[in-house]
Structure 1
Amino acid sequence: MTTATSKETLGFQTEAKQLLQLMIHSLYSNKEIFLRELISNASDAADKLRFEALADGTLYENDPELKITITFDQEAKTLSISDNGIGMSKDDVISHLGTIAKSGTAEFLGRLSGDEKKDSQLIGQFGVGFYSAFIVADRVEVLTRRAGLEPSEGIHWESEGEAEFSVESIEKADRGTTVILHLREDSADFADNWRIRSVVKKYSDHIAIPVLMEKQATPDYDDEGKEKPVEENTTPEFEAVNDATALWTRSRSEVTDEEYIEFYKHVSHDFEDPLSWTHNKVEGKLEYNSLLYVPKKAPFDMWNREASRGLKLYVQRTFIMDDAEQFLPLYLRFIKGVIDSNDLSLNVSREILQQDPAVDSMKSAVTKRVLDTLSKIAKNDSEKYQLFWDQFGQVLKEGPAEDFSNKEKIAKLLRFASTHTNSDVQSNSLEDYVGRMKEGQDKIYYVAAENFTTGSNSPHLEVFRKKDIEVLVFYDRIDEWLMGHMMDFDGKQFQDVGKGELNLGDLEGEDDKKEKEKLETENKDLIERVKKVLGEKIDSVRVTNRLTDSPACLVVGEDDMGAQMRRIMEQAGQAMPESKPILELNPEHSLVKKLDQESDEDRFADLVDILFDQSTLAEGGQLDDPAAYVHRLNKLILDLSK
């Protein structure tokens, strides 16, 4: 192998530099994961070659047996991981090894706290791949050539993991990539046969191509029992140190939990164990294997709609593509894993996948399998399900709008905060709520607010507390939108307690109804006076039976958008149709009684405006003129102090 003189020195992308330093320090306590990452990369390179060679068999270059080879030199303190996969061109090397070509990198770095333990978990979600080599090495070399290029187009990349790296052209006869790690003094134990073998067995036994290491010679003894010297210049023999079978093709009874966990880390590049998994083989009209994982933590880029997502797709155990998003709906985008079909064509593309009826059938079956897995967790381990919900609940709430056929299954998986538990933890299922409904109750009541505190203290809940009726507290931004796609559950209609005129049905006695009618008649003049003061600010004024402690509240019309949803849309810059609230008065409240007795019309107007503004604040709204509110309130306090 000869080197050319065209050596370039380039600087790392800023984000890559930050990640390098952070990773070296944060992951140092778990150094051996570097080998898992490098073997995983080598396996991916082999998969990609196999796929590209479907269209161009010459890429194999008369060497079709794909493999990964690990060698070491104890004296030189080096460790080398080689593959005969797809390899890299010069542009590939600069792009892949000099930058972090991943969307959301800046957002990821912005979430780092400086706490090494927390940050190391974040790094695990991000996936560090090749850069993990610098955990154990103070210098790393990469020798590579992309399959199909001339031997003279080989590339030598080198860096000490600081500010820069060098790239130069080399002559490289064989395709693929070799990563040479110059080990740090405190990591020299990785230049050891037993140590490397144990790590490969622990983390990479499931890799579907052989990981080869030099076969350990069996000692030979002479007649006197002395060990014979090993002959020099003998060609070393290599043997596979992993099982080299696709794990998803094996029977579930043959696979240990440890193997499932390590395979998850291989396909997801997550450092955390998965929360759960489901492994299934389907035979009949369609034939495929699926191995699906529920992660323990949400990826940092879960809300980035441009982020890659989906399953690894294989056809007849031949890798086809990463991130095949056609097999799961968007609301299950956090699921990781593999699907291996016997029915699809080897030359399948993303466009063909979108049109293939077999894909639709598999998507339907795989979706139901994931939902059934989540249902089992929810039924059998509420603590584990709560962990899942805290991470992925808001994404699952997208489901009823996207997946009508599974709406009922998804609805049973939803969790909400409630006045029953009086906690912002979303732990109450709709089945739990229906099971606790009072006799005669025919609706599922909820209140929507910006946060739990505002919602749980809403004046709209006063009559519900008085009658001991449970109300769900919605405070996720998606909740009101969700209700637009879920009209009922188990035959019970949903009812926003801040919308329309309150009707408690059979929960309201005849005496309550007669009392309300009486109050409406008695306060007719007061209602007209208040309407005159507020004018165009409101749609109407009426007395209410929903308040027990507050003097007034605002509600929206039965067919209008909820106040919280309206605020969200306006904050997003969405033009909204005009909508005026309804002011409801509690005529039994002492402030309202005093208001009715006020003869000074100017003072009456100030009191009405104060009540209106207080009602706006109580439901989480913002005042159009806060200074005027403060002025009126101060004036009232001064009048009272005279």
Structure 2
Amino acid sequence: MSEQVVDKNKETRGFQSEVKQLLHLMIHSLYSNKEIFLRELISNASDAADKLRFKALSQSDLYGDDSNLCVKLSVNEQTGTLTISDNGIGMTREQVIEHLGTIAKSGTKEFFAQLKEDESKDSQLIGQFGVGFYSAFIVADSVTVNTRAAGAAADEAVSWQSAGEGDYSIENITKPTRGTDIILHLREDEKEFLNEYRLREIVGKYSDHIGIPVFIQTEEKDEEGNVTGTKWDQINKAQALWTRNKSDISEEEYKEFYNHVAHDYAEPLTWAHNRVEGKQDYTSLLYIPSKAPWDLNNRDGQHGLKLYVQRVFIMDDAQQFMPTYLRFIRGLIDSNDLPLNVSREILQDNKVTQALRKACTKRVLQMLERMAKNDAEKYQTFWKEFGQVLKEGLAEDFANRDKIANLLRFSSTENDAQEQTVSLADYVSRMKEGQDKIYYLTADNFNAAKHSPHLEQFRAKGLEVVLMYDRIDEYLMGHLPEFEGKLFQAITKSDLDLSNFDDEEAKEKQKETEKEFASVVERTKGYLGSRVKDVRATFKLHDTPAVVVTDEHEMGTQMAKLLAAAGHEAPEVQYIFELNPEHALVKKMADEADEEVFSRWVEFLLGEAMLAERGTMDDPSQFLAAINKLLIK
């Protein structure tokens, strides 16, 4: 570490409240894997080098006389300090206050919530939520950061100091070289991190693959073992992992690189490393995580691949190379076809970008297809974490709709299990003779779907129904009209026709009953008026007296709920009221001569049907009054 001359310009500032909470956790909680602090700080130093390389593309003088970017580790046993130094981009005073005094990411509350929920995930979450620097306080009782921004004068450097409590101090210093020195004043019980061999072990484990060298300061000794000086030893390969031959990279190295690139301590489910030469010349390394990030459902959040051009880091979260429905993918792409001065604006409409996006999307879907085919258990792990997001692809990616449809998993009446394990191909393979449609039901949750009265005739006829209870499912079905030539049929629609599964005798009996029941239908219509679109007799029910359905092209219940949840004003759903003439309650209603009592039965049966379909009703008091009067009678 270089010497610093202290200026008088010093001030003390308070931490943002979220930082105070975070530091308290770092200092006072027991962490399962303390050594990850070094991984995070070296990773930050590597990012600082990447950012300097990118900025120097247009300002080559930023390098000065020092273009050999690296990270240096040094220890001082007398003072009990470990120093991590880099000669990267550095920070100005304003940047120090912004980055070290606040947590800019919006997920701070989620970080604390997840950490409280499962403390064993601490090392995973630290990097994932962009709070890697603060992991220094896991092992240090105070931290000093001396930094000078590239292009700034020596006397414009800044020193930041904190004991990890309520505030920090910041002052101007003179620093001869650009970059950042992080000085950790280690706690008494953390002195293992002053041991050279322990540091070598950690760097070899976590940082062997980063693209810049990591040096450690070691003692030089003569033949008698006397210290004669110091030297710097490189302790990592310093070759970007994706540039190496796949045959030379171990499975463990791939996993360690994932931890670095994704800031995720968990192992990935699978990955694909490909070098392509031809029309496009690029390398991609794509990972499928095993756990969903906290912000997975935020479509507008930061996601995407790290972009390199000719081995030079260009940007994080390059969204242009991965569609939104695959926003959980982590990894990088290194292109030889894009210009080094590429910007986000150029990427938007660049033909090379579009070709790379198409290729990366295809690669991910192939990874998922292989996983689904060869390892059902692992694919179920993926589906539980990312299935709902993958469903978005049916609306976003028409070109790959069939591939995505093959990857979908649902529950069904085949096993009545909540776990979504049934593929559409599985369903089609079990279709009964004469069945030409895929029957499905959407509902608020699994139990509502499983116990829906609409299923009664399907169970009686031995017909399988796909049970859909994710909020996105109704939207999804609007973009999936058929699968392998089989049309989808919602079983809550009025155009449902299962008559080809009935015998002629049953059909004749139903016609007779329908004629006899016509007067009851008319009485019910007369009472309800415009409250329903129509009233009909139905023979699809067994244990249920009545249901409501919607016309074929009418908006369904779940779509109306979806629009309402999104803050949109949905048109009122017009229901068709279907009565089961063979049910005891409906027969009792049909035999009722008193119109007032008849109307109470209508209110009761309609309210019950609306509850089963929507979980609510427009006027509960009317329903309850009808029940009360019927009970009293």
TM-score (norm 2): 0.97
| Partner of residue 256 from structure 1, selected from 250, 253, 262 | 250
Given that 2:105 and 2:129 are in contact with CA atoms closer than 8 Å, whether structure 1 keeps it comes out as no
Deviations along 1:426-450, one digit per CA (max 9) or x if unpaired, are 1211111111211211111111111
Contact in 2 for aligned 1:113/1:119 (Cα 8 Å): no
Aligned length: 630
Question: Partners in 2 of 1:611 and 1:166 — Cα distance?
Answer: 71
Q: Is the 8 A contact 2:440 2:489 kept in 1?
A: yes
Q: Does 1:186 align with 2:189?
A: yes
CA contact (8 A) 1:454 1:620 kept: no
- Hey, what does 1:584 align to over in structure 2? 578
Q: Does 1:447 align with 2:441?
A: yes
Does residue 1:40 correspond to 2:43, yes or no?
yes
What residue in structure 2 maps to residue 223 of structure 1? none
1:230 aligns to 2:227 (yes or no): yes
Match of 2:328 in 1: 334
Does the CA-based 8 Å contact 1:295-1:336 persist in structure 2? yes
CA–CA distance in structure 1, aligned partners of residues 554 and 275 of structure 2? 49
Selected match of 1:424 from 418, 430, 435: 418
Task: Supply the distance in 2 between the matched residues of 1:437 and 1:127 (Cα, whole angstroms).
Answer: 50
1:556-586 CA distance string (max 9 Å, x none): 1110111121123234432223432001111
- Equivalent residue, structure 1, for 2:97: 94
The superposition leaves residues 294-325 of structure 1 with CA deviations (integer Å, 9 ceiling, x where unpaired) of: 11111111222332111000001000111100
- The verdict on how the C-alpha distance between 1:113 and 1:620 changes in structure 2, with shifts beyond 3 A counting, is farther
Is the counterpart of residue 619 in structure 1 residue 623 in structure 2?
Answer: no
Shift of 1:375: 1.1
How many angstroms does 1:93 deviate by?
Answer: 0.4
Letter in 2 for 1:201: G
Whole-angstrom distance in 2 between the partners of 1:248 and 1:191: 32
Equivalent position to 1:49, from 46, 49, 52 = 52
CA positional deviation for 1:273: 1.4
1:406 pairs with one of 400, 407, 411: 400
Shift of 1:515: 3.3
Provide the residue aligned with 1:71 in structure 2: 74
Aligned residue in 2 for 1:199: 202
- Residue by residue over 1:333-373, the C-alpha shift from the partner in whole angstroms, topping out at 9 and shown as x without a partner, is 01010100011100000111111111111111110100110
| Structure 2 residue aligned with 1:28 | 31
| Distance in 2 of aligned mates of 1:596 and 1:476 | 39
Give the residue type in structure 1 aligned to 2:495.
Answer: E
Secondary structure in 2 aligned to 1:103? coil
- Asked if residue 151 in structure 1 is aligned to residue 129 in structure 2, the reply is no
TM-score normalized by the length of structure 1: 0.95
Matches within 5 A, 1:419-498: 419-498=413-492
Find the residue that maps to 1:95 and give its secondary structure.
helix
**Equivalent AA in structure 2 for residue 281 of structure 1:** R
TM-superposed deviation, 1:229? 2.6
Q: Distance in 2 between matches of 1:492 and 1:187?
A: 65
The answer for the alignment partner of 1:513 in structure 2 is: 507
Q: 1:304 to 1:24 in 2, by over 3 A?
A: farther
Judge which range, 541-550 or 482-491, deviates more: 541-550
Tell me the secondary structure at the aligned position of residue 366 of structure 1: helix
Give 1:295's aligned residue.
Answer: 289
CA distance in 1, matches of 2:484, 2:29: 49
Whether 2:97 is the aligned partner of 1:103: answer no
AA in 1 matched with 2:240: A
SS at match of 1:139: strand
Distance 2:566 2:302 in 1: 25
Return closer, same or farther for 1:527/1:147 CA change in 2, 3 Å cut-off: same
| Paired amino acid for 1:549 | D
Deviations 1:59-91 (A, max 9, x none): 001111111111001222110000000000001
**Paired amino acid for 1:128:** V
* CA drift at 1:618: 1.1
Contact 1:124 1:272 in 2 (8 A): no
Tell me by how many angstroms 1:35 deviates. 0.4
Q: Is the 8 A contact 1:86 1:175 kept in 2?
A: yes
TM-superposed CA distance for 1:25, in Å, is 4.5
1:531 to 511, 519, 525: 525
**Within 2, Cα distance between the matches of 1:588 and 1:549?**
10
Q: Which residue of 2 aligns with 1:170?
A: 173
1:280 aligns to 2:277 (yes or no): no
Q: Residue type matched to 2:199 in 1? A: I
Deviation at 1:117, TM superposition (A): 3.0
Contact in 1 for aligned 2:221/2:227 (Cα 8 Å): no
Distance 1:41 1:624 in 2: 57
When the two chains are superposed, the root-mean-square deviation of aligned CA atoms in Å is: 1.6
Give me the whole-angstrom Cα distance separating, in 1, the residues matched to 2:599 and 2:568: 33
Which residue of 123, 130, 133 corresponds with 2:133?
130
Identity of aligned residues (%): 56
Paired residues of 1:3 and 1:171 also in contact (CA < 8 A): yes
Residues 146 and 252 (structure 1), Cα distance of their counterparts in 2 relative to 1, 3 Å cut: same
The aligned counterpart of 2:314 is: 320
1:84/1:175 contact within 8 Å kept: yes
Quick one: distance in 1 between partners of 2:317 and 2:417?
38
CA positional deviation for 1:121: 5.2
Residue in structure 1 matched with residue 595 of structure 2 by the alignment: 601
The code of the aligned residue for 1:451 comes to: N
Shift of 1:216: 5.2
1:361 to 342, 350, 355: 355
Q: Deviations over 1:527-565 (max 9, x none)?
A: 101111111111111111221110110001110111121
2:305 to 290, 311, 314: 311
Counterpart check, 1:553 vs 2:556: no
Say whether 1:211 aligns with 2:208: no
Distance in 2, Cα, partners of 1:245 & 1:121: 25
**Could you list the runs of 5+ residues in structure 2 that have no partner in the other structure?**
none
CA pair 506-550 structure 1, distance change in 2 beyond 3 A = same
Residue 628 of structure 2 corresponds to which residue in structure 1? 634
Structure 2 residue 387 is the aligned partner of structure 1 residue 384: no
Tell me which moved more, 255-264 or 507-516.
507-516
1:430–1:119 distance in 2 versus 1, CA, 3 Å: same
SS at 1:178's partner residue? strand
Deviations 1:89-143 (A, max 9, x none): 0011001111111123234434553653366654454243101100110010000
Give the partner amino acid of 1:195. R
Aligned partner of 2:238 in structure 1 is 244
